[in-house]
Amino acid sequence: MDTAKERVEQELKELSEKITKLASFLYGNKFLEADLSCEMRYQMEEQFRLMCGYASCLQRRLKLWGKTSADLERECANAKIGCVM
């Protein structure tokens, strides 16, 4: 069975592939030539933005994996932000 970390890694991999495909469409000629309403174009760009944000969240989670509570508290103190542990 996959570990939670492996599932997050797989999810990030799949999401990254989808982001790449959507970016290719949005920033290529097909998007400009497509018969899409202004609202549909906006929603696709919004989808791209949110997918990128989600990928960033998954990357941050993977970066945290394996760190102890003490490590995280020290990083929060160094960054001068309040963390609830």
pTM: 0.77
∠ CA 65-50-4, rounded to 5°: 25
Q: Any idea what DSSP says for residue 28? A: S
Q: Is residue 70 part of a domain?
A: yes
| Stretch (H or E) spanning 62 | helix 38-64
Q: What is the mean pLDDT of residues 27-51?
A: 95
The boundaries of the domain holding residue 73 are: 4-79
pLDDT band at 72 (very low <50, low <70, confident <90, very high): confident
Q: Is residue 84 part of a domain?
A: no
Predicted confidence at residue 84, as pLDDT, reads 44
Q: Is residue 55 part of a domain?
A: yes
Q: Is residue 85 part of a domain?
A: no
Q: Is residue 18 part of a domain?
A: yes
Domain count, the chain: 1
